[in-house]
Structure 1
Amino acid sequence: MSEAEEVKMHIKVVINKEKTKVLFAEADSDFTDVLLSFLLLPLGTIVEVLEKHYGDKAPVIGSLNTLYRGAKNLDLIHFLGEDVKKELINSTLFDSELCKLRLNIRGTQLTNSSNGESYEGVFTKSAASFIITEKLFVIPSVFGSIVETLSTLGIAVEDMDGTETRNVTFGLNEIIGLLKESLISMDPLTALFFPRKLIEPTVGHVSLHQVFPEDILRNPKIMTLKVMLQKSTNKFLFAQANADFVNFLFNNLTISLGRVGWFLCSNTGLKKMDNLHVSVSSNIDSMYLKCNKELLINPDPTSINLSGKEANEYCYLNMGGSESQSYVEGSRMYMVSDDLTVAPLGVTSGLSVINQLKISLSDVEEVKLKVGLKEALNILKASLTSTTALTDGLIKPFLKEQLIKPLLKK
């Protein structure tokens, strides 16, 4: 048994037994730090951790699983080096912060304090304690009076009748379980005790003006994607992509969950993670934090010290597949499926897909689509909740725009 598996943390959970529902939990800094560390996890790392832990029973997180597996299975000859592929599928971003936690979700252990007695806090101050709601809002436990606190949490007084407080132990298995439920469940804490309720996936558009300055929005970096559609149904078949688009997709695996929340203005469709993101930005005062809020709500090691326009320009380039974020060979073409699986493109492989779908070649139409910042963010958001990320994030908005254009001309 590893040291990480032996580490245990304790929280108090208030349960309404009649409604089989967790109302809230009260936790010290060590557990709260582990919960907030979810925001530092790159999307590819989340898939890696869950698939390693659950194997064939790993949950499906939108199109991220197939995007990750496609990158993992793509032959090394397509990458710009062995180290590039290794870092992509096994990112070490923020390992220095994660390894300071009492329990690191990667499974590695704090080096200087295996029993946690001298835990000094990583993101929150060690003396602080916090209340964590069922929806993963986090507030300091000294927020106000009991009645005021319950009101802030959205808990009705009558819900407190017949409640029970349990002392719950969390180890590595339970923390990974909480990560999983936070991504797929309506009520992640309740799901650890009672039957799970699943999130209804949602895909929408984002407000760019809160994140990116006007000059970048007016002069976006553009990628071109050749999309194969079935003429008779407008069904997406596959896309023919250059290296820049594949680099953009693979780069999404390296973006931390908190940074995705920042890109999408805490509107990712992963509602509980959005709540966690909002908690850091709005609910937890800096006096309770040991780190700068920016580390959690916009975690990026290369731009963390940038500010203003410089930071916005960097994150824009990051979304647009800049040369500094290259992973695959630029002279090759790739096939990208609706679930973001990336594979080498050839005439035979393209025809094979069309034949497997039993579609006549005369019913296939090639459409060139421009992918700029807005489209890139829509694809990113769709990838978190949908197994048809290109249809939901790119094709549907395109078809909707085609329908609107004739109306605008009248």
Structure 2
Amino acid sequence: MEMEMELKLHVKVVINKEKTKVLFAEADSNFADVLLSFLLLPLGTIVRVLEKHYRRKAPVIGSLTTLYKGATNLNFIYFEGEHAKNHIISSTHFETEFCKLGLNICGTHPTSSSSGKSNDGVFIKSTARCIISDDLRVLPIVTGSIIETLSSLGIAVEDMDGTETRNVASGLNEIKALLKESLISTNPLTSLIFPGRRQMILATDRHVFLSRIDENAILRNTKRMILKVMLQKSTNMLLFAQADSDFVNFLFANLTISLGRVEWFLGSDSGLKSIDNLHRSVADDSNNIRVKDSYTKDLLIKPKPTDHTYSCSENEYCFLNFNRHMSYGYVDGAIMYMVSDDLTVAPLGVTSGLSIINELKISLSDIKEVKMQVGLEEGLSILKAALTSTTALTDGLIKPFLKKQEREQQLQ
């Protein structure tokens, strides 16, 4: 165990000293494998790993952090058995693959089918070397013009003046730091080497770009969940939503989806720019990364664990519980729940609802209740917003709803 903790992965980093900026890194398959393993991490596991590592200084990842904490803090009595809660807050898939990595960010131990680091490479062929840009585009090292390589990375020739190459050793601490930076920064390598040079990812007013979801897929997923949303009349500000178990099951199931699957759902356009680039590096056939085989490529592009969260095998667009085929639920279906803008879930109570209204000093006469339908499109919009925004319901549901209403009124 001590030897495993001492293991370091080495990577060559080319920096512009004057701009204190990483231009690119050159790495072997061991480092590339660990980087690509980020795509297999369930969203809840990402929050759990960072919370455990950084404790009070853990970063806030959109609304995922509060969604995860809400699931953790919700009493076991509201779940369909202790195993249901445990599946949400400690879900880890692909243990065999993680245990083969030189550095296992999940901390899982080898099983009988996985005995430590693989000599054949885990995702990338062991003989392959890669170029990694500051924003996590991964390219194969090929013979050709250095100028062309720099151009493909978006690096100007003048940026190479006065560069310095450093050999950087990365252990688990550095890999966890890289995971954090890839979720909150658009230049994670620079942020890792020069902590003060972080460029933050900003949540913007946007509607989800459904490049993987066509109209037929939306029509096939006919299920709609009903939310009763409490809005302030004068401002359309969201106060909270009242939901039954279907919607809460959907929210909690998001924590069990792997990051790569989320990227596939959203067409490598999740708003997490560095993770988008990492996913495109594998998904783009023209990139020619030396992935081991087609099964491994598929695993990274759209990881699909064989458990109840994906119950609709005949339709790859089937999204969690947006189809009646899913009979499993996480929470008690006999009660109603209150969902905050940041996706915090709690049992619904009259006093808790009034408490929120009183804290905001809003008159009851200035409150309206709006029924909203949440289907596949709306669900993906909420999921996308949750990755970068601490107001996921407002950005993923309310704003698109109000814009649609405005367009319809203009057409009348």
Normalised-by-shorter TM-score class = over 0.9
Flag structure 1 segments of 5+ consecutive residues without an equivalent: none
Matched, 1:261 2:263: yes
| Alpha-carbon distance between aligned partners in 2 of 1:122 and 1:203, rounded to the nearest angstrom | 38
Give the counterpart letter for 1:364 in structure 2. I
Question: 1:4 and 1:87, CA in 2 relative to 1: closer, same or farther beyond 3 A?
Answer: farther
CA drift at 1:284: 4.2
| Alpha-carbon distance between aligned partners in 1 of 2:325 and 2:66, rounded to the nearest angstrom | 23
Instruction: Pick from 302, 305, 311 the counterpart of residue 298 of structure 1.
Output: 302
5 Å-filtered alignment, 1:5-404, equals 5-108=5-108, 119-142=119-142, 144-194=144-194, 195=196, 196-208=198-210, 210-212=212-214, 214=216, 216-217=218-219, 220-282=222-284, 284-285=287-288, 287-290=290-293, 291-302=295-306, 310-313=314-317, 315-318=318-321, 323-404=326-407
CA drift at 1:125: 0.7
Question: 1:176 and 1:321, CA in 2 relative to 1: closer, same or farther beyond 3 A?
Answer: farther
Aligned residues: 403
RMSD of the alignment, in Å?
A: 2.2
- Whether the 8 Å contact between 2:221 and 2:375 is mirrored in structure 1 is no
- Whether the 8 Å contact between 1:14 and 1:22 is mirrored in structure 2 is yes
Question: 1:367 and 1:268, CA in 2 relative to 1: closer, same or farther beyond 3 A?
Answer: same
2:269 is paired with a residue whose SS is coil
CA drift at 1:318: 4.2
Flag structure 2 segments of 5+ consecutive residues without an equivalent: none
Structure 1 residues 366-399: Cα deviation after superposition (integer angstroms, max 9, x where no partner): 1100111111111001000110000111111111
Structure 1 residues 171-229: Cα deviation after superposition (integer angstroms, max 9, x where no partner): 00000000011011121000112112212223533343633461543652100000011
Question: 1:319 and 1:181, CA in 2 relative to 1: closer, same or farther beyond 3 A?
Answer: farther
- Whether the 8 Å contact between 2:224 and 2:322 is mirrored in structure 1 is no
- Whether the 8 Å contact between 2:22 and 2:134 is mirrored in structure 1 is yes
| Alpha-carbon distance between aligned partners in 2 of 1:168 and 1:110, rounded to the nearest angstrom | 27
Segment of structure 1 superposing worse, 94-103 or 382-391: 94-103
Question: 1:181 and 1:219, CA in 2 relative to 1: closer, same or farther beyond 3 A?
Answer: closer
Question: 1:319 and 1:171, CA in 2 relative to 1: closer, same or farther beyond 3 A?
Answer: farther
CA drift at 1:147: 2.0
CA drift at 1:161: 1.3
| Alpha-carbon distance between aligned partners in 2 of 1:214 and 1:66, rounded to the nearest angstrom | 33
- Whether the 8 Å contact between 2:95 and 2:108 is mirrored in structure 1 is no
Question: 1:25 and 1:156, CA in 2 relative to 1: closer, same or farther beyond 3 A?
Answer: same
CA drift at 1:110: 5.8
Question: 1:377 and 1:309, CA in 2 relative to 1: closer, same or farther beyond 3 A?
Answer: same
- Whether the 8 Å contact between 2:270 and 2:276 is mirrored in structure 1 is yes
Give the counterpart letter for 2:349 in structure 1. G
1:35 is paired with a residue whose SS is helix
Give the counterpart letter for 1:65 in structure 2. T
Percent of pairs with identical residues: 66
2:136 is paired with a residue whose SS is coil
Matched, 1:408 2:411: yes
- Whether the 8 Å contact between 2:42 and 2:92 is mirrored in structure 1 is no
Give the counterpart letter for 1:94 in structure 2. F
CA drift at 1:323: 3.2
| Alpha-carbon distance between aligned partners in 1 of 2:368 and 2:207, rounded to the nearest angstrom | 26
